[in-house]
Every structure is written in C-alpha cells, then in structure tokens.
Structure 1
Amino acid sequence: MPDTNLTNRVYNVLFLCTGNSARSIMAESILNKDGAGRFRAFSAGSHPKSAVNPFALKVLESFDYPTDGLRSKSWDEFGKPDAPVMDFVFTVCDNAAGETCPVWPGHPMTAHWGIEDPAAVEGADIEKEAAFVTAFRYLRNRISAFSSLPIESLDRTALGTKLREIGRSEGATSLRPDLV
C-alpha cells in the first residue's frame, strides 16, 4: 500500500523576483491553477513594487488564470516563524538570483528559472502585452515540466538536476555560471 503521506502531500513553492509584480506573480497563479492541488504557490520580491503590473493581471485573466488575492510582497513575509515552510524556491529573474536570499526554514530545493523581464519592455501597449504573453508561456512550460516530475521517487540530487534543467529550457536568460 502506498504511503499516503507522500502521495497526498501538498508542496509549498515560492517564486522570487526583485519587484514581485510580473514574472513571480504569474508563476504563482499558474502553479496554483495547474498544480491541481498538489502544490501551493506563493511569490515575493526582494524589493517589491507597490502593485502588481496590470499587464500581468491582463494576461493571466486572458488565459483564465486566477488573479484574486495577488499582491506584490516582500520575501521577508516568508522568513517569519509563522510563515509556511517552503519545499521549493525558484528565482525567475537574474537580479533576485544574484542577491543574498534569506535562509529559508526547512532547507527547500532551489533553482534559477530566469526569463526576460516583460515589464522592462518599452513601446506601445501591444508590444508590452506581447512580452507578458511570451513570459507567461515560458513560465507555464517550466511549471508544467516541474509539476509532472515524480518528486516522491527522485532523490535530492536527481531532483536538483531536473530543476536546473527546467531552468535552462526555452527562453532562459543567460545567467552568470556562479549563480546557476
């Protein structure tokens, strides 16, 4: 008989970015919907913006992903004693990957899944929205690969290798080797 503690386990996942207004917010929404109750996603930033980028919300809504309750917040919220213990922490921007992150309780698995910042795109609204759609697609592909991993049957080394491979998939930014 399978161990129901493993097969019914819900994993906590934190997506980090500097501003927590675009990529990490979209990743949180995508995993919460597509993770089918197997994952509980959160997002935070080292220097959070005052609000979620409106293009992030527009793109999420256009693909029928939830936006209720999404807010830009500091990663300090997840270092407090009453915060949920994370199983996985993924940086989705190169700046956050290069910063000194807090020490997360529980020693979560970490990986860098950097993609270009859609909020940095300048030009007409249609160009900005297209950048957000591209970022959304890259994030959804990574999250799909992650959520299909047989987490329970992989040892920590193999799982770490798989997480890093996901981070190098299509759309990956070129990060300094010492940060990967």
Structure 2
Amino acid sequence: MNSKKRVLFICAHNSARSPMAEALLRYIAPEQFDAFSAGIQPTPVDSRVLAVLSQLDIPSEGLHSKPLEAFAGQQFDYVITLCDKSAQEYQMMPRGEEVIAWNVEDPQASSKPDAFRHVLSEMNERLKIFVLLKTRPDHQGANHLPLA
C-alpha cells in the first residue's frame, strides 16, 4: 500500500481559506492524504472558520495559523495555493511535486453573511474532485481510455 500523500495549502494569512482546506481534506480523505496549511504573513485563524466547520461537524482541533517557514526543507506531493498573492510568491515556499493554483474568494473580505459557508462549499467541491483525480489507480501513468 502506498503511503499518504502530503498536501500543503497556502494563502496570504493562513486565517481562513487554507485552514478550511486543511480541515476539509483531513475530513474527506484521511486515509489518502496528510494535510497542512501555512500563510505568507500568518494571522490567527478567524473564529468564523471554526464556527462554520463546527456547524458541519468537521473537526478543527489543532487548527492554527502557521508561517511558511515552519515547513522549510519539507517535501510535499502537492502544494496548492489558494490566492493570487501566494501563487506569485511561490519561490519562497516549500517544494511540491505538483503545484496547483486555485484562486478562491477571501471570505474575510466579503460582505455576504454566508461568505464562509460559501467558500467552504466551493472548497469542498474542488477537494472532492482533487481526491478523485489524485487517487485514481492510473493517475501515475498517462491518461487513457480503456479498450473494449
């Protein structure tokens, strides 16, 4: 059996999007992935993140904001940036076998009352697809159609 794949989610502050992604991936695919998150200029995790995770019974214990430097020298299978700022500053980030850039709306900058739930829902959809694609048996080789 293959070991778990390591995934690092990065956003500007590691206060909303990346902690949500970390918690979600740990919830939906704990057998396949080890999830981590970090920020370029970390600030504390927004209490609304913890509230929306709690409302949906997604565990959040141990979730806290971390600087990129906390992962210096570590290798990841996937590094997923969640905002333009983190994608642009990738040079200073820990290395990943595959780098994926998702530009996800910042719920902290939104005036919508359900912004955190909306972003969590969007992230859930993206992560379900990510897990499906990255855990397929033929993911390591070329994509091909089965012959009849």
Q: Note whether the superposition's TM-score is higher than 0.5.
A: yes
Consecutive unaligned residues of structure 2, counting only runs of 5 or more, are 144-148
How far, CA to CA, are the matches of 2:99 and 2:90 in structure 1?
Answer: 13
Aligned residue type for 1:54:
S
SS of the residue corresponding to residue 148 of structure 1 reads: helix
More strand by share: 2
Structure 2 length as normaliser, TM-score? 0.87
Q: Cα deviations across residues 118-141 of structure 1 (Å, max 9, x unaligned)?
A: 01123xxxx34x000010001000
Partner residue in 2 for 1:48 = 42
Q: Are 1:90 and 2:80 an aligned pair?
A: yes
Alpha-carbon distance, 1:10 to partner: 0.3
Shift of 1:36: 3.2
Alignment correspondent of 2:13: 19
1:24-81 per-position Cα deviation (integer Å, ceiling 9, x unaligned)? 00000000010131100000011101x100111101111111111111110111114x
Figure out how many residues of one structure are paired with residues of the other and give that number.
142
Q: Do the aligned partners of 1:79 and 1:102 also contact (CA within 8 Å) in 2?
A: no
Percent identical residues: 34
Match of residue 117, structure 2, among 112, 121, 133: 133
Q: How many Å apart are 1:112 and its aligned residue? A: 0.6
Show the 5 A alignment for 1:110-129.
Answer: 110-122=99-111, 127-128=112-113
SS in 2 for 1:59: helix
Take 1:109 and 1:146, find their aligned partners in 2: how far apart are those partners?
A: 12
Among 54, 59, 64, the alignment partner of 1:66 is 59
- RMSD (Å) for aligned C-alpha atoms: 1.8
> Residue 66 of structure 1: SS of its match in structure 2?
coil
